[in-house]
Amino acid sequence: MDTKDLPANVLDPDCPSRVIFQRIGDKWASLVVQVLADGPIRFSELRKMVHVVTPKVLTQTLRTLERDGLITRTVHAQVPPRVDYELTELGASLLEPLTLLRLWAEDHVPSILKARDAYDDAQDEAFIGG
């Protein structure tokens, strides 16, 4: 199957959309994007918002987002340095689907937790019974 002329398809392992789709699931990337929803923010503030991410990992995340054109990095010629991160138009467009997903997650926490309890109980019973 030649994939070159097909429309983008996340199920195709060779389609770049799959990589992008999975980047969204990056441990920090999607969190950072959502924090940036409130406007530009500097490195140290970002660190506080995302709660205990090490500078190395935050830098990695930010560089990746910058490379993908989702955020801009603005260095102010000051001492001590000030660097602001801001969503690009592209990055802002991701905000909408991402927010829906976040709301889904936040809304369905109880259902999922309940399902887990039920599953684990069933497992325990099977173990005792077997």
Partner DNA sequence: ATCCTTGGTATCCATGAGGTAACTGAGTTC
Partner DNA sequence: GAACTCAGTTACCTCATGGATACCAAGGAT
32-51 binders of DNA (CB under 7 A): 42-45
The count of other CB atoms within 10 Å of the CB of residue 80 is 4
Of 80 and 86, which has the nearer Cβ to a second copy?
86
How many whole angstroms separate alpha carbon 96 and alpha carbon 75? 27
Q: Does 55 bind a second copy (CB under 8 A)?
A: no
Q: What are residue 73's DSSP bridge partners?
A: 85
User: CB count, 10 Å around CB of 29?
Assistant: 21
Q: What is the CA radius of gyration of the chain?
A: 20
One residue of 37, 57, 100, 115 binding DNA per CB under 7 A: 57
Q: Tell which positions 81-100 bind a second copy, by CB under 8 A.
A: 90, 93-94, 96-98, 100
Mark residues 14-53: x for contact with a second copy by CB under 8 A, - for none.
Answer: -xxxx-xxx-xxxx--xx--xx-------------xxxx-
Nearest to 58 by CA among 76, 32, 20: 32
Edge-to-edge, what's the strand order for the sheet holding 71-76? 41-42, 82-87, 71-76
- Pick one of a second copy, DNA, none as the site partner of residue 126 (Cβ within 5 to 8 A by kind): none
Binding partner at 79 among a second copy, DNA, none, C-beta below 5 to 8 Å by kind: DNA
Interaction between residue 81 and DNA (CB under 7 A):
yes
